[in-house]
Structure 1
Amino acid sequence: MKNSVDVRTLLSVYEKVKTQGQHFENSCKLEDITCTESPDGYCVNLADNNVSLDINFHNTYHFHTMNEDPESVINQTTTEFHNNNEAQVQEFIHKLMQLDKRY
């Protein structure tokens, strides 16, 4: 996937969700974005219903989609599978950017 996003912006969104969102036992939620962090604080996660984003130490990140395994998706070609996942990730990034602007 060709997702080059600014890690500072992602961390800004994470901080906004954490400080302005509704707090639960192990997470915070603002609008439909949920954030969590690892016990050691070296990895944070932002997620909605379709996409999850891990932001790791040294500003590396990885997107996960709900249907990551092309073998588990029936009636889709590999190209369709990758296009669907890319669309989900792009929508998620857009959602994060909008949240960053609103708060």
Structure 2
Amino acid sequence: MKNDIDTKTLLNVYEQIQKHGEQTEKGKLYQGLYAYSDIDGYTVYIEGSGVLLRFGFHNTYHLDYQSDKNKEDFMNKVLSIAHQD
């Protein structure tokens, strides 16, 4: 998946999850999505619905998923959070 999601939207969703989410061992959990970062903070992750999104250096991201259904569910959650507030 390349350039399907605006990077500003991804950062906004990450921040919304951090702001409104419940702390877990994995990271903050909000509306079925986890958000966390690596130790140095250069790479952030959004995970849920069988999808792992890595967002990092030079505003690039990569999605790992097994099926299009997983990707669709994940994207619906991301867009739902993006349209809040």
- In the alignment, the residues of structure 2 paired with residue 52 and residue 26 of structure 1 have an alpha-carbon distance, to the nearest angstrom, of 13
Alignment deviations for residues 7-59 of structure 1 (CA, whole Å, 9 cap, x no partner): 10011000000011111245101110101101000000001131110001111
Alignment correspondent of 2:71: 89
**Structure 1 stretches of 5 or more lacking a match?**
68-84
Matched, 1:102 2:84: yes
SS at match of 1:61: strand
Alignment of 1:1-103 (within 5 A): 1=1, 4-65=4-65, 67=66, 85-103=67-85
- In the alignment, the residues of structure 2 paired with residue 5 and residue 24 of structure 1 have an alpha-carbon distance, to the nearest angstrom, of 26
Specify which structure has the higher proportion of helix: 1
Change (3 A) 1:26 1:91: closer
> Contact 2:21/2:29 (CA < 8 Å) preserved in 1?
yes
Aligned residue-pair number: 85
TM-score (norm 1): 0.72
**Structure 2 stretches of 5 or more lacking a match?**
none
Change (3 A) 1:14 1:55: same
TM-score (norm 2): 0.86
Change (3 A) 1:5 1:26: same
SS at match of 2:83: helix
* Identical counterparts, % of pairs: 31
Specify which structure has the higher proportion of strand: 2
> Which of 1 and 2 has greater Rg?
1
